[in-house]
Every structure is written in structure tokens, then in C-alpha cells.
Amino acid sequence: MKRTLVKYRNSAVGSWITKRQKYAPVLFFICGFIFDTLTLGRIDRTYDLTILCFHMSALSLSLYLYNVADDGKWEGSFLENFQLYFPLAIQFFFGGLSSAYVIYFSRSVSLSKTLTFFVILVLLLFANEMLKKRISNKYLQFGVYSFISFTFFAFMIPVVIKQMGMVVFIVSGLISLGCTLSLILFIYRSSPSTRAEVSLGKLLSIVIGIYLSISTFYIFKLIPPVPLAMQKGIVAHEVQKIDGDYLVTFERENWYVFWRRHKEKFHRKNAQPVYIFTSIFAPTDLKKAVYHRWQWYDEKTGSWQKTEDIGFDITGGRDDGFRGYTYKENIWNGQWKVEVITEEELVLGVVKFEVVSRHTKRQIKLSEKRF
């Protein structure tokens, strides 16, 4: 084994990697991110669940192997030859797990609700370059681990028990917190070098602070209600159900506005009703009540006024999401938005549009699409 490693280091590839060793952690983080992007599809698939559980278990093991290596724990064992690669493994699994959340919610039409988390992931990506000790900084290691662990359990537990909501999210966070603290304490007791390098009180404060921060983000609706995701949201002139499909008639947006299907300006004729069509992804067998909250912007007060909540139940399992629609006839010109919310009032997505009167002679181009 040692001969193989020496031969590898002396090769052209090995020399190239050695010269750029300082970039290796970030590279492995990105590789983990790309790996999940290419392989993950649905959070409730057996393959996806297996990959995520493997990543989480391997990450925990890698952290233990790396943090006790400085104590000579692996001297004389076969693991001694691989100590150089422990931090790279940590980065790979960090990248793989952190990407899962963005991957599953990148299909959501509510970019504003996923942006907060995405920014955090970008900061994680560059955190190692900003810190002098990079991944060897144990506060960074376990801070990122606690963040990743929370999101892992926030996804996994609702999928397994087929339920979601505020209580489930809090329980998921507590399980994550318990697992993270257990790993930290186990490594702390097993590694004299770790005890000499870090303050246990400070480390636990960071972990608990991350737990409280994510919980606060969820309570104040700054992150989406996992594991639901709104995949489509369209303001339409008509929605018909034909042979199990929904035929949606709407004003198609220009081709270069690729992030939205419909025009935001709704040209209304006479007392024509306005329809909102949505599709919401949920894991198999998960049932949940959702609502379309219709709101109108009052220019006099400068605030959004709720006009009506119209609800329906969704059932998970369909690849393209559970389809549903609501419509409103008593509507007037102005700025409108429809928030798609859960019964806990957590926002899945928002459909914004402006209602304007259409003159009789004015023709508008409508498109039809089956969902």
C-alpha cells in the first residue's frame, strides 16, 4: 500500500494535485455538490434516502477519524496511510449533503424562499478559504456539521413518518442537536489534542446557536417548509380538468423570461374570473392542507390586504407535484399576489400579477398547456 501511495505522489497527476493542495478542500466540496446534482431526484426515492444516509454516516465517521489522528490513534494501522485524505473526505460529504437541500428546492418557483439558504451554502463554500486553518479549524468543522445535520433530519423525518409541521420540524432539530452533541462529546473525550485546542463551552455555544438560528428562520418563514416544494405557479384565464389532466389557458411570457411561464400583467375582460394554478411536490403518502391566500396591494396604505383564503388538501407521490387551482371573480384592477401557504402559514411560494382592464377590440395571445 505504501509503495502505491509513493508511486501515486511521484506521478504527474499526484504532483499536480500536491502543488495545488490548498485548493483541494474546496474542490472536493464542489465535487460533492456536483455528485448530488447529477444523481439525486426525489427525496422519497430509496436511492436518494440511501445516498443521503450514507453521506451523513460517512461524514460523522470521517470527522472522528480526522480529529483523533493527531493523537497517533492510527499509527501502525492501515488507516495511517489515508490520514492525508480525511479532510478531503469531510469536504466531499459536506458538499454532497449541503447540496441536497438546494437540489430539492431548486424546482420551487419561489426563489426568494430558497435564496436565504443558498446564500448560506455559498458562504460555507468559501468559509475554508477565509479561515486561516481551513478545515482543520474544529469550530468550523462542527459548526458546519451541526447545520448540515439539522437540514438532513428536517428532510428525513417528515419523509419517514409521512407528516410535517412545526412540531415535526422542532423534533427533527432536537434529534439533530442530540446527535451533533453526542459526536462532539465522544470526540472530545477520545482526543487529548482536541481538548487542548478547543473550548468545549464555546463549541457547544456555537452548535446550540446554529440550532436556535435555523429554528428562528423557520418560525419567521425565512426558509421553505421542508420537504414540500411548489413547482409551478401560473395566473391563468381558464383552468379545465380533462381526462385527469389540467388544461391551463394563460398569457405566455416572452421567451427570454425563462424563469416564469405567464405574463405578470393579466388583461381582464368584463367580469372574467382570474385563476391561479399550482403544483406542489410532496413525498409519497404525505397529506397536507394548503391554501391560496389572495392579497391586493392597497396603494393608499402601502400594504398588502388579505381578501380570501381558499384551501384544498394535497397528497404526495406524483413526480410533477399535486395539481390544484383556485379562482376569484370578485376582483379589481391593481397589484395582486397569491401566497401558497400551509395551515401553519408557512409560505411555499408566491404568484404575483397585475390586473388591468382589456378593451373589447384588444386581442391578446393566449397559450394552452396540459399539466
pTM, 2 dp: 0.78
- What pLDDT was estimated at residue 211? 93
Question: How does residue 131 score in pLDDT terms, banded at 50, 70 and 90?
Answer: very low
Please list the residue range(s) of the chain that carry CATH number 2.60.40.1930.
229-370
* Whole-number Å distance between alpha carbons of 168 and 174: 10
Q: What is the mean pLDDT of residues 3-21?
A: 53
* Backbone torsions φ then ψ of 246, nearest 5 degrees: -110, 120
- What pLDDT was estimated at residue 302? 93
21 pLDDT exceeds 70? no
HSE, side-chain direction, 13 A CA sphere, residue 217: 21
- What pLDDT was estimated at residue 124? 62
Query: Given CA atoms 210, 211, 216, 219 in this order, what sign does their dihedral have?
Result: positive
% of residues, the chain, pLDDT over 90: 39
% of residues, the chain, pLDDT over 70: 81
14 pLDDT exceeds 70? no
Question: How does residue 301 score in pLDDT terms, banded at 50, 70 and 90?
Answer: very high
Place of cell 482526543: 191
Angle at 29 between CA 25 and CA 30, to 5 degrees: 120
What is the CATH number assigned to the segment(s) 229-370? 2.60.40.1930
